[in-house]
């Protein structure tokens, strides 16, 4: 499994579960030995002990060939992660823009209202 972390990514501990086997992931390539079969794969980040950025995928290892999966943690803890065979865009861009747009506007509104009420 390949976890990708860019300069703006969350630096949270990442965990993967294949069937009943659970492993901590590091940024970059993580080699997990999986016996032949069809397995559910789950991956998530831990944010103060809470599972965030959950992603699920089913793999088929009956052919005996190595598989490369990419887990992309979300941009915020409020979105799902992505688990796929190829690198994909991280989820949560809209949520992040909303947070960065709404919070400053809300703070400015409170300051203006407080200034008007203090007169």
The domain segmentation of the chain, as residue ranges, is 2-91
* End-to-end Cα spacing for the chain: 60
In terms of C-beta distances under 8 Å and separation of at least 24 residues, what long-range contacts does 109-115 make, across chains too?
A: none
Predicted local confidence at residue 26, as pLDDT: 86
Q: What's the pLDDT score for residue 7? A: 45
Look at residue 12 in the predicted model and tell me its pLDDT.
Answer: 81
Q: Return d(Cα 90, Cα 71) in angstroms, integer.
A: 9
Chunk the chain into consecutive blocks of 10 residues (it has 119) and report each block's average pLDDT, rounded to whole numbers. 46 89 89 91 92 94 89 91 92 90 93 94
Look at the chain and count its residues. Answer: 119
Instruction: Report the pLDDT value the prediction gives residue 16, as an integer from 0 to 100.
Output: 94
Contact between 50 and 38 (Cβ < 8 Å): no
Helix (H) or strand (E) holding 22: strand 21-25
Q: CB atoms < 10 A from the CB of 71, how many?
A: 26
What is the rounded distance in angstroms from the CA atom of residue 48 to the CA atom of residue 16?
A: 17
Global pTM? 0.73
């Amino acid at each position: 499994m390949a976890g990708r972390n860019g300069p703006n990514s969350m630096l949270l501990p990442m965990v993967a579960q294949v069937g009943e086997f659970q492993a901590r992931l590091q940024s970059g390539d993580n080699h997990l030995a999986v016996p032949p079969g069809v397995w559910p794969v789950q991956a998530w980040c831990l944010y103060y002990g809470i599972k965030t950025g959950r992603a699920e995928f089913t793999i088929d290892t009956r052919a005996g060939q190595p598989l490369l999966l990419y887990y992309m943690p979300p941009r915020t803890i409020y979105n799902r992660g992505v688990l796929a065979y190829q690198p994909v865009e991280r989820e949560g861009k809209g949520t992040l823009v909303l947070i960065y747009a709404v919070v400053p506007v809300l703070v400015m509104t409170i300051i203006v209202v407080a200034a008007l009420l203090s007169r």
